[in-house]
Structure 1
């Protein structure tokens, strides 16, 4: 179920948050590192475009949230742990993201991580960072 929307001051780049949709799932590490506030509503953020031109947006996978909720780009901590062999800081992750290396494939010298755009209301700030 959707959580109450958090203020933009609480969810900010370089901080940790919990994915409220996964808190009750013991098999998932629900902690994310917030990479960026997109400044755009989730119903305008295209996830992919089909060859026939049909577009699919973030709100289609987050239909219990307000489509006008701001999208937050994030990466799951468990993915970062695996890609960085457990040796990382939030600063390392943010630097790799800003340089474009976080999602670049390993074959091309990056970390090959998948990032996700989530509605702000889906995230619960837990703060923390090393910056």
Structure 2
């Protein structure tokens, strides 16, 4: 994979992640005795790489909690679009999480040309 592309993708992901983290407010409004509780649970993320785009949903993960941040690794069932073809794939990714936002770098294995498939992106955790 092109190292210039990787640097640009990492920089873009870091800028997006930091802007989202800094824009969140500290106060959350809590309702007392709601009659109906509707919520989505899970995680979703989008990551891009060299000729690849991955739409990832959250799977099992192992994380270490450090002062509001969570750092770990997880499995992501994904829809990988590679060279115009879409196929389901399982990826493994390091995760940096802050509140409901995640910085992810899914790894999908190798393509037909024996090149590693990495993508970089951002994710959101529901509930």
TM-score normalised to structure 1 length: 0.32
Q: Which has the higher contact order (CA 8 A, sep 6+)?
A: 1
